[in-house]
């Protein structure tokens, strides 16, 4: 099946040529998909009926099926998508003061094995295709009252984006292309646990914001929390950050989850400041989001404020990130993509949730 939303301009036109469809028709179809946010080929009324029918027969309109939608008390929306082979992924639409941010997944499951993360529990299923990444954005935009309010994208959902680099790169190309979804490069952020060689490639080949999940400032703790650290230890990771090409005034975001008694002491904060010396860095402090199987506890707010104070004294920008959507397990590290589990927990189908 042809998946138009995963193709760039050139590929769409090449594909049209193979099918014997004129290039301007291919452009029309792209316009309907990316600009008018059509919900199906039958809506593309500037195309002849027989062409619409033919496209519907040869192309898959969307690679995703919405299986569930949950809305948090703070209006965060978590969408559960079923992939064509039955796996589930999640995307989270997060309200900000004057816009929305969408957090998208790059893989079904994850192979990185971070101890604090719920997605890691299910292991790795497979990489998402470019269409499956782009369709998360399209499906969510189609469901919004004002789709233009969605201006920011973060690749921080399920999976490690740099372990699916080629597909992620292609999807980001479509999401940021003028004739695609036209997101600003400055408003797309990719978060990685630290796959160093791919990070270096990213720096050469793409212009998105980089976020690095650090979570510990000493080797032993990071080895324990994030197995990837044994492969690409802190000195290598920080060297790659130091050498990462940053356009004017941009910074690398370092994410640091605070866990009681694990990585939240004053000494940890001091270590963190010396690690980051010489890097244009912004630090996001994230109180651990607990999930039912988590062995860790979030640090107290008092501890978090003390931790932040050390960073601020050393002139770092350190923001405490308030988690959104916790009540529906939509916050960082709470995505599991498991329909059955959700069903069992809430006992309600999509319709009830929508009306709630």
What radius of gyration do the chain's Cα atoms show? 21
Q: How far is the CB of 4 from ligand SAH (least distance, A)?
A: 27
Give me the residue whose beta carbon is nearest to ligand SAH: 333
Pick between residue 38 and residue 202 the one whose CB is nearest to ligand SAH: 202
Pick between residue 28 and residue 338 the one whose CB is nearest to ligand SAH: 338
Please classify residue 267 by burial: count the beta carbons closer than 10 Å to its beta carbon, then call 0-12 exposed, 13-18 middle and 19+ buried: exposed
Please classify residue 125 by burial: count the beta carbons closer than 10 Å to its beta carbon, then call 0-12 exposed, 13-18 middle and 19+ buried: buried
Q: 244 phi and psi, to 5 degrees?
A: -70, 125
Please give, one letter per residue, the 3-state secondary structure of the chain.
CECHHHCCHHHHHHHHHHHCCCHHHHHHHHHHHHHCCCCCHHHCCCCCHHHHHHHHHHECCCCEEEEEEEECCCCCEEEEEEECCCCEEEEEEEECCCCEEEECCCEEECCCCCCCCHHHHCCEEEECCHHHHHHHHHHHHHHCCCHHHEEEEEECCCCCHHHHHHHHHHHHHHHHCCCCCCCCHHHEEEEECCCHHHHHHHHHHCCCEEEEECCCCCHHHHHHHCCHHHHCCHHHHHHHHHCCCCCCCCCEEEEEEEECCCCCCHHHHHHHHHHCCCCCEEEEEEECCCCCCCCCCECCHHHHHHHHHHHHHCCCEEEECCCCCHHHCCCCCCCCCCHHHHHHHHCCCHHHHHHC
Q: 136 phi and psi, to 5 degrees?
A: -60, -40
Pick between residue 26 and residue 216 the one whose CB is nearest to ligand SAH: 216
Pick between residue 167 and residue 215 the one whose CB is nearest to ligand SAH: 215
114, 117, 193, 332: the catalytic one is: 332
Q: How far is the CB of 14 from ligand SAH (least distance, A)?
A: 33
90, 132, 139, 255: the catalytic one is: 90
Q: How far is the CB of 231 from ligand SAH (least distance, A)?
A: 14
Pick between residue 129 and residue 192 the one whose CB is nearest to ligand SAH: 192
Q: How far is the CB of 207 from ligand SAH (least distance, A)?
A: 19
Q: Which chain residues interact with ligand SAH by CB under 6 A?
A: 112, 116-117, 156, 160, 191-193, 213, 215, 255, 257, 286, 288-289, 332-333
Q: How far is the CB of 275 from ligand SAH (least distance, A)?
A: 16
Pick between residue 14 and residue 319 the one whose CB is nearest to ligand SAH: 319
Q: How far is the CB of 348 from ligand SAH (least distance, A)?
A: 25
Q: How far is the CB of 287 from ligand SAH (least distance, A)?
A: 7
- Asked if 260 is an active-site residue, the reply is no
Pick between residue 5 and residue 289 the one whose CB is nearest to ligand SAH: 289
Catalytic residues, by residue number, are 90, 332
């Amino acid at each position: 099946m042809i998946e138009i939303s995963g193709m760039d301009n050139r590929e769409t036109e090449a594909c049209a040529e193979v099918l014997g469809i004129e290039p301007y028709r291919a452009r029309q179809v792209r316009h309907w998909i990316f600009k008018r946010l059509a919900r199906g080929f039958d809506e593309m009324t500037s195309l002849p009926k027989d062409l619409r029918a033919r496209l519907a027969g040869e192309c898959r309109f969307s690679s995703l099926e919405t299986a569930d939608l949950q809305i948090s008390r703070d209006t965060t929306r978590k969408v559960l998508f079923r992939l064509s082979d039955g796996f589930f992924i999640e995307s989270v639409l997060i309200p900000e003061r004057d816009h929305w941010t969408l957090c998208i997944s790059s893989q079904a499951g994850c192979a990185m094995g971070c101890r604090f993360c719920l997605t890691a529990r299910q292991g790795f299923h497979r990489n998402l295709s470019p269409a499956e990444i782009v369709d998360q954005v399209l499906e969510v935009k189609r469901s919004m009252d004002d789709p233009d309010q969605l201006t920011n994208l973060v690749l921080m959902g399920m999976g490690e984006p740099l372990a699916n680099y080629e597909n992620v790169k292609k999807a980001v190309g479509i999401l940021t292309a003028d004739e695609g979804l036209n997101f600003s490069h400055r408003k797309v952020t990719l978060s990685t646990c630290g796959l160093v060689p791919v990070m270096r490639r990213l720096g050469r080949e793409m212009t998105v914001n980089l976020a690095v999940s650090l979570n510990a400032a000493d080797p032993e703790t990071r080895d324990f929390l994030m197995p990837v650290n044994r492969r690409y230890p802190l000195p290598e990771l920080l060297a790659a950050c130091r050498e990462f090409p940053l356009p004017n005034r941009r910074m690398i975001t370092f994410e640091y989850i605070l866990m009681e008694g694990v990585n939240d002491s004053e000494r940890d904060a001091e270590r963190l400041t010396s690690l980051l010396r010489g890097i244009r860095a912004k630090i996001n402090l994230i109180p651990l989001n607990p999930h039912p199987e988590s062995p860790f506890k979030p640090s107290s707010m008092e501890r978090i404020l003390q931790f932040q104070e050390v960073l601020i004294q050393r002139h770092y920008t350190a923001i405490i990130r308030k988690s959104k959507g916790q009540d529906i397990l939509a916050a960082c590290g709470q995505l599991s993509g498991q329909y059955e589990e959700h069903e069992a927990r809430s006992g309600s189908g999509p319709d009830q949730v929508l009306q709630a």
